[in-house]
Amino acid sequence: MLYSTYTQKSNHFIFNFYILIQFPVYFLIFYATFEERRMKFLVITATVVFLIYHFYNMIFREGLFIFSTPSYTLGSVLVIVCCLVYFFNLLSSESEINYFRIPMFWIATGLLFYFVGDTVYMSLLGYIVKNNLDTEGRFYGYIMFTLNFLLYGLTTFGFVSNHVWKKKI
């Protein structure tokens, strides 16, 4: 915002760099969480696929100065897949599970809410911008506020509940 205000230029390249860090960090979290080799390999594959696709979009397709919505959508879908795989693992686990003691459960829930909610708007971002549907980005602001609240609220709850639970015991 500040960059655009002062320079009167598009700040999309900042978001292109931001998602270059954002998604690999999420994949890294899942890589550290999964114990099975197969799952770790899946996360590495997702990271590599995302990076190749994003670089391809930035260099050959849309350019650095246009926000790459296909890359963002792919990243979102891959994070959703990781979350679902994590939930499936949790579901089929043979040991007793206490959600309050697993911060990752809440982080994955937050990520799932965030990216499922975000994907519809972001995948249609090109269309919305082209047709000037959300002029001031107010609608996007509401969605983002709700989804950010869910993501960070659930993540915080995960860590706090774990701490409280430990104290209780």
Partner 1 sequence: MEKKDIIFTIGFATLVLLILLCFLLFFFIKYRARRNKHIRETEIMKKTFETALLQSQVEVQENTFSMLAKELHDNVGQLLSSSKMLLGITQRELGKSPETLTIAEETIGKAITELRALSKSMDKEWLEQFELIENLSTEIKRINSGKMLVIVFSHTGKLPLTSEKQIMLFRIIQESLQNIIKHADARHINIEIKNDDENLSVHISDDGKGFAGISGDGLGIRNMKHRAKLLGGNITWNQAEKGSSVTIDIPIINSEL
Residues in contact with partner 1 by CB under 8 A are 87, 90-91, 94-97, 99, 109, 112-113, 116-117, 119-121, 124, 128, 131-134, 139, 143
Distances (CA, A) of 67 to 62, 126, 169: 8, 9, 48
Nearer residue to partner 1 within complex by CB, 66 or 80: 80
Distance of closest approach, residue 6 Cβ to partner 1, in angstroms: 30
> In angstroms, what is the minimal distance from the CB of 131 to partner 1?
7
Q: How far is 153 from 107, CA to CA, in rounded Å?
A: 9
Q: What tokens were used for 120?
A: 């519809």
Separation in Å, CA 56 to CA 22, 27, 119, 140: 17, 19, 21, 27
Q: Smallest distance from the beta carbon of 169 to partner 1, in angstroms?
A: 17
Cα separation, 74 vs 60, in Å, equals 17
Q: Which is nearer to partner 1, 64 or 84 (CB)?
A: 84
51 or 143, CB closer to partner 1?
143
